[in-house]
Structure 1
Amino acid sequence: MSLVPTLPTIPEPTTLTCIASVNEARAMRIAEILSDFRHLQHAIANIRANPSAEEYYEEGYCVLRQCAAEAQALLNQPFDCQGPEPDGDGEQEKAQLQRVMLDASIRRFKIQQIYLKASAALRWLTSRNAILGGNRPQPIHTPALQQIANTMRAELASVTPARVELALRSQDSIQGKWLAEDPTWSTMEQSIRTGR
């Protein structure tokens, strides 16, 4: 019997433990993406604009209704969780998490795009209310109303995939989130085209 204590053997990190820890990071990233998605959905759902009958078809109100409809349609789409159950297999779990991350990223991308458009329409509405001051539009208001309509159109045109991707990546980078496997817009676009 030896009086020298034996130290426990520390196992070398294996590929399996590395996959497991990266899969945990993937799962956390999915939770962050879905949290962003829910937050933006909630913000869009809480937009309240009550146009009068004569204002109902004004461009900004139409944009707000379209944004609300698109957000609802996106919410109603089933999530893509296809594929075999991982059953403890790290590689299968990785593949499933990557599919879910792609689906969640597409949803967040689309809702961010919708949110930016709704924000432009809300700025139009705020400016319109400031111009009209609670009164009905008069000929004297026409130039100012035309200007805010043009501004809104320019803002809507600027909501490009590149701008949305940059906004999301910048926000995530500032918050120090793990972005190593976030899909790019081109990856998401390809997935959308093939019917994800």
Structure 2
Amino acid sequence: MSDGLNPLREARVAELLSDFRTLQYLIAAVPTCPSNPDDYYTEGWAALRQCALDGQHILNCAADISIPCASGPGPDEQAKAELKQVLLDAYARRHEGQKIYLRQAAAQRWVGWRESVVNGGGGGGGCRQEMEGMDGQLRAELANITDEAIYAELQANDIRCGRWVDEDPSLREVQRWIRSRSQC
């Protein structure tokens, strides 16, 4: 007996994939090399390059194409099982994309701060201390971008938008998916 929710599952997968596609465009549009070659190995630019690599990795990771076993007989139950599998994949990709996007935003703020210090500074000892402070600020911001915070933010946003979230995967399932794709 079908539960009749497959159209909702299909719509949810489409929403998640659309969100992920948007995130991928945003991630790919961010520069990864500074105009000043001396800045190449600085913390912010290194973070931006890592984000670009992570974005490419999550895009290139193959989906789980194994055929899940349905919990009941019939094509609707099989479709339900397959949609739940695809839902997890899309949800986890969006989650990881959001994490990369937030890390990029922090690094881009750092780049802006650095440019304002370098252009307004003069390179004295105070400038060095200010830059070290900015590096520390960047590290702190990156450390605050956690799976728990991202999951809660995305979930709250989905609910505000009136999206169907009844069968969204748990944070633990998302983290397990991400770990399983870390070596692909």
TM-score tier after normalising by the smaller chain length? 0.7 to 0.9
Distance 1:79 1:147, change over 3 A: same
Q: Match of 1:60?
A: 44
Structure 2 counterpart of 1:39, from 5, 16, 22: 22
SS class of match (1:119): helix
The answer (yes or no) to whether the contact 2:68–2:85 under 8 Å persists in 1 is: no
Identity score, percent: 37
Segments of 5+ residues of structure 1 without an aligned counterpart are 1-14
So what's the TM-score if we normalise by structure 1? Answer: 0.83
Q: Which runs of 4+ in 1 moved over 6 A?
A: none
The answer (yes or no) to whether the contact 1:41–1:71 under 8 Å persists in 2 is: yes
Q: Match of 1:27?
A: 10
The answer (yes or no) to whether the contact 1:61–1:121 under 8 Å persists in 2 is: yes
Shift of 1:38: 0.7
Q: What CA deviation, in whole Å up to 9, does each residue of 1:130-159 have, x standing for no partner?
A: 112277744331122122111111110001
Q: What CA deviation, in whole Å up to 9, does each residue of 1:9-52 have, x standing for no partner?
A: xxxxxx43x42xx1010000001001111111111100025422
The answer (yes or no) to whether the contact 1:105–1:182 under 8 Å persists in 2 is: yes
Aligned residues: 178
Q: Match of 1:11?
A: none
The answer (yes or no) to whether the contact 1:81–1:100 under 8 Å persists in 2 is: no
Q: Match of 2:61?
A: 77
1:157 maps onto 2:138 in alignment: no
Q: Match of 1:102?
A: 88
Q: What CA deviation, in whole Å up to 9, does each residue of 1:45-100 have, x standing for no partner?
A: 000254222111001000000000010011111222321799x7100000000000
Q: What CA deviation, in whole Å up to 9, does each residue of 1:167-190 have, x standing for no partner?
A: 111111111111001101112223
> Counterparts of 1:136-147 in structure 2 under 5 Å?
137-147=123-133
So what's the TM-score if we normalise by structure 2? Answer: 0.88
Letter in 1 for 2:63: F
Letter in 2 for 1:132: V
Q: Match of 1:185?
A: 171
Segments of 5+ residues of structure 2 without an aligned counterpart are none
The answer (yes or no) to whether the contact 1:81–1:96 under 8 Å persists in 2 is: no
2-structure distance, mates of 1:194, 1:70: 15
Higher helix proportion: 2
